[in-house]
Structure 1
Amino acid sequence: MMSADFMMTQLQETIKTAIQTRLWSDILPPASFYFLSLPILLLLVGGLVTMLLGVFKTDPDKPCYPSWYVAVFVSFAAAVFAIFSKISTPKAFLGSGVLIDDISRMSFIVIAIGTLFTLMASSMTKIGKQLLRSELLTLILFSSAGLMVMCAAGEFLSFFVGLELTSISLYVLVGYQRRTLQGMEASIKYFILGAAAAAMLLMGAALIYASIGSLRFADFRLLNISFSNPFGLAGVLLIFSGLAFKLAIAPFHSWAPDVYQGANSHLTGYMASLVKFSVAIVILRILSVSFGDGEKTGLIIVFWIFGAVSIAVGSLFGLVHNSIKRILAYSSVANAGYFCLAFASLAADPTSLESKQSLMSYAVIYAVLSMGAFTVISWLEDSNREDLLKEELAGIGSKKPFAAVTLSVFLFGFAGIPPIAGFFGKFFLLLSALNQGFIGLSIILVLFSCLSLYYYLSIMAEMWFKPATRYSAQSNQSEETNSGMKAVSFIAAFAAIVIGIMGPRWAINLNYTQASEKNMRIVNTANSVHNNANSKNENVISNPK
């Protein structure tokens, strides 16, 4: 009885102390949190403002330029702040829910610039202007804010909040073209499969929590992923399977061709670049923490199989399609397999700086190439039908040489041909994989990269070596559209070439030390109470007096 009273008293004190110490630092974080997470807050506030401006817009079917100005301003402000902010010491807020470090800063820069690029390119094409309605601009800003939350998350709950904020926005954006059955079909498929992936993530998180009592990425070092702990092993596999869906890694890729084909091309570029970049950063954070006891060979084999199957499926299935968007969708599946080289390398050695650098550089390079390629595709689709076929690009080299040159730059980048940035990305991936002994997977990458050259070169052959026919895409855009699209396409192509010549030095010089995580005071204090109670019981038993 004395022991029970003692435990209850100590537990009450523990809870009272925990609430007092954690309330102000976690639920009500210090002012530095609001300053360091300003890019996220700017996008969220901008989304609310564009939503309110949409109430006063009389014609919902036309672009709302006041909302577009707000969206451009907050994206530009978020990018400028992220570029010029300096983080001397990595910091954790909200109980490791938000980590502010160099990884977060680089992610904020890429996402803010990518959002700004999408908004600018959308305003220059007839098809893209459909994205400039207030409600759609609100969804784009909320989606970008969710991506930033994902990249800065240090534990599962905040990551899942960011993921769902992004996913729900994209489900609506993909099917916003209410008059096209193809867009609605893509949206429904994306929603159903996305819900299945979210269920896998939640189940995996529940199993991990049952194993270690925590959802912080830093606490995964306590997790035993051997067959002796099936809950922990199954939880890890479910989480990585759910993330593989978002990256469109085979066999979780079935949604990608339909969604890429059915969505607006500007939006497709946004999804193909920023969403994949953000998921890669999340996996970088998870794998940078060494798992606990147990053989990690199973996890390495999973990434090995994912990578090999994804590279093979993306390279082979892209050969049999004529739709430009479906070809680029299967190209994204193959490139998702390339990410698995870095994932396997990190799983083998979480402290490998080379693997982290290769993953970060390839994620940024792939984002630049994808956004640039789909921007040029949207330019060619303007005043034509969406979802162009290869044959419809015949003669584009003579009618629109600037578009053909920039698209060729991005296709060479996907193929990994120097001096475009894609060469450096694949080179670093191969180097890190070979250093970890993944020779077989590296050979598969090289062989299927050569095979995928066929459908990249077949597109360029249509543009440059085939004469124009009556089925070729027309080039009757306005001078304003042509000038604007030339500018944004040039910016993306210039970035791809400069990175290819100079190399991704920003990825090499980045500090990959994650923010120091806060201690789990409640768990630690509860454990100490439990130990004190046990010692008290032992004293009572040994000293009956």
Structure 2
Amino acid sequence: MSSNFMMSRLPEIVKDAIQNRLWNDILPSSEFYILAAPILLLLIGSLITMILGVFKTDPEKPCYPSWYVAVFICFASAALAITAKIKAPVAFLGSGVLIDEISSVSFTVIAIGTLFTLMASSMTAIGKQLLRSELISLLLMSAAGLMIMCSAGEFLGFFIGLELTSISLYVLVGYQRKSFQGMEAAIKYFILGAAASAIILMGAALIYASIGSLRFSDFRNLNISVNNPFSLLGVLLLFCGLSFKLAIAPFHSWAPDVYQGANSHLTGFMASLVKFSIAIVFMRILSSSLGEGNHTSLIVMFWILGAFSIVVGSLFGLVHNSLKRMLAYSSVANAGYFCLAFASLASNPTSLEAKQSLLSYAVIYAVLSMGAFTVIAWFEDSNREDLLKEELSGMGSKKPFAAFALTVFLFGFAGIPPVAGFFGKFFLLLSAVNQGLIGLSIILVVFSCLSLYYYLSVMVEMWFKPSTRYSAQSNQNSETNSGMLILSLIAVIASLFIGIFGPRWALNLDYSQAVEKNMRILNTADIIKEQTQADASVIHYPR
């Protein structure tokens, strides 16, 4: 009888679900379109630039109308992200998009970083190769994917952003079809990136099998223990896949080849904004508290990954002369530094210090990476790409400001005050020590001193050695030199400003995240009970 009753009420149930739930997700309120405008603008801009490419007579040359549109879109996106008034964290599209102060900062960093990449690319000979209409469109799509990742509150939204970014970058890395290094880097990045995505998907499937949900806020229901292998294996696979995207050792093998083979401006985009976004995803997941009880297994995992990444990045960077490969191993070491904050959050998901240190270091590392690869592209202009350290000999006299800017960024990577990197590492150490991670903190300090050697070796070549016939030729035109000088100056000022005054935005930020209310599922008994109420003509399913 109860089953017949449910079948008779099925049309009303479906109608009520559509009215109260489905249309609110498919067509959210106008507030969503205002707060998510930076993402929507980048997606619209990518379509416009792609259409403009159809009217370009020579597809192999830069399409400046597309570039103008992309620059305007990025500027407008950054302005909207900065001026957006977020009264309280709110969730849209079934927690697919979370709008909070973390999202606001992420949108701002990504929009400004993409704008910086477009401006720098227009200044150099190698950068103008990126200004073809379809490549600009892919760059905007990649930036939109990064914003979607940073604002995602559940796995499906995150994965859509991840794939939108990854597929765009696969093409961008390999667009130089005549370059053997570029094609090799694209193939390696594509194969390993696809494998990492499959690992992430498998981890999400196991998590869903354990708790029946893919929302990050529901991960607190996980039981991560040997007695529940689905949850344990799912979390491990998810973090291993994300570790690949962040280039944490031993999942770092793609980074040196891709950094070396890709266009230097694109390498700066990947090294800064992609890593920034993955760090934000880690923070959102770990802030949700992965189950109750002891999280020793997670802490040990991040401890091992962080220590191994710091050691590998610091030691292997010593044996390479290629400037871009050296910075690739520097990024591996810096990925290990992120693990201090991950371990701190795994130990205490409510730790405000861990969240502040993670966000501040992610922004600082993005600024330093973007600036360093911009200067490298300045050195490479009109020369072959992938310069060796020896080819920087005498640059202190040929290009004094470029050499000074690169010195500032290298000091930042090493954590030397008054550059921004000092505050970033200081906050990481402070949060780790407060959570009892003394051993990993010692490893960071020791190997930071060791990695200082290969940073100093670059400075010695620039400032203390004379030019040789192997030195890079300084034959750029005045427009290139003046444009790159202004962009490098902006990055230097940002690095020194943060280094002197500290990352105050990270200390004053509200780290609370929006959580959508669970939908109550009514069983047969609930329906019969509600049907007996005289005044209940329609069964309502509260959100």
**Post-superposition offset of 1:11:** 5.7
Q: d(CA) in 2 for partners of 1:290 and 1:491? A: 39
- What residue number does 1:43 align with? 42
- Asked whether 1:473 is paired with 2:467, we answer no
**Post-superposition offset of 1:119:** 0.3
- What residue number does 1:543 align with? none
TM-score where L is the length of structure 2 = 0.96
Runs of 4+ in 1 over 6 A off after TM superposition: 533-536
* Aligned ranges 1:57-456 → 2 under 5 Å: 57-456=56-455
SS of the residue corresponding to residue 431 of structure 1 reads helix
- Cα distance, 1:10–1:407 mapped onto 2, change above 3 Å: same
**Post-superposition offset of 1:520:** 3.3
- What residue number does 1:520 align with? 518
**Post-superposition offset of 1:292:** 2.0
Maintained 8 Å contact 1:372/1:493: yes
Deviations 1:430-466 (A, max 9, x none): 0000000000000000000000001000000110111
- Aligned counterpart for 1:529 among listed residues 509, 523, 530: 523
- Cα distance, 1:95–1:136 mapped onto 2, change above 3 Å: same
**Post-superposition offset of 1:86:** 1.3
Q: d(CA) in 2 for partners of 1:6 and 1:82? A: 51
Q: d(CA) in 1 for partners of 2:494 and 2:112? A: 12
Maintained 8 Å contact 1:7/1:529: no
Q: Size of the alignment, in residue pairs?
A: 530
**Given residue 529 of structure 1, which amino acid in structure 2 is its aligned partner?**
N
- What residue number does 1:539 align with? none
**What do you get for the CA RMSD once the two structures are aligned?**
1.3
Q: d(CA) in 1 for partners of 2:15 and 2:317? A: 60
**Post-superposition offset of 1:15:** 3.7
**Given residue 518 of structure 2, which amino acid in structure 1 is its aligned partner?**
M
Maintained 8 Å contact 1:249/1:307: yes
Q: d(CA) in 1 for partners of 2:525 and 2:167? A: 45
TM-score where L is the length of structure 1 = 0.96
Maintained 8 Å contact 2:2/2:524: no
**Post-superposition offset of 1:518:** 2.0
Maintained 8 Å contact 2:62/2:131: yes
**Post-superposition offset of 1:353:** 0.5
Deviations 1:404-453 (A, max 9, x none): 00000000000000000000000000000000000000000000000000
**Post-superposition offset of 1:501:** 0.1
**Given residue 519 of structure 1, which amino acid in structure 2 is its aligned partner?**
K
SS of the residue corresponding to residue 523 of structure 2 reads helix
**Post-superposition offset of 1:267:** 0.2
**Post-superposition offset of 1:3:** 3.4
Q: d(CA) in 1 for partners of 2:78 and 2:231? A: 39
**Given residue 348 of structure 2, which amino acid in structure 1 is its aligned partner?**
D
Deviations 1:371-415 (A, max 9, x none): 000000000000111000010001111111111000000000000
SS of the residue corresponding to residue 292 of structure 2 reads coil
SS of the residue corresponding to residue 92 of structure 1 reads strand
Maintained 8 Å contact 1:110/1:364: yes
**Given residue 204 of structure 1, which amino acid in structure 2 is its aligned partner?**
G
Maintained 8 Å contact 1:11/1:529: no
Q: d(CA) in 1 for partners of 2:307 and 2:77? A: 38
Maintained 8 Å contact 1:10/1:529: no
**Given residue 47 of structure 1, which amino acid in structure 2 is its aligned partner?**
S
SS of the residue corresponding to residue 43 of structure 1 reads helix
Q: d(CA) in 1 for partners of 2:445 and 2:433? A: 12
SS of the residue corresponding to residue 351 of structure 1 reads coil
Maintained 8 Å contact 1:395/1:468: yes
Where does the alignment leave 5 or more consecutive residues of structure 1 unmatched? 537-545
**Post-superposition offset of 1:470:** 0.2
Maintained 8 Å contact 1:226/1:294: no
Q: d(CA) in 1 for partners of 2:205 and 2:463? A: 54
Maintained 8 Å contact 2:380/2:387: yes
**Given residue 191 of structure 1, which amino acid in structure 2 is its aligned partner?**
F
Maintained 8 Å contact 2:28/2:92: yes
Q: d(CA) in 2 for partners of 1:532 and 1:76? A: 53
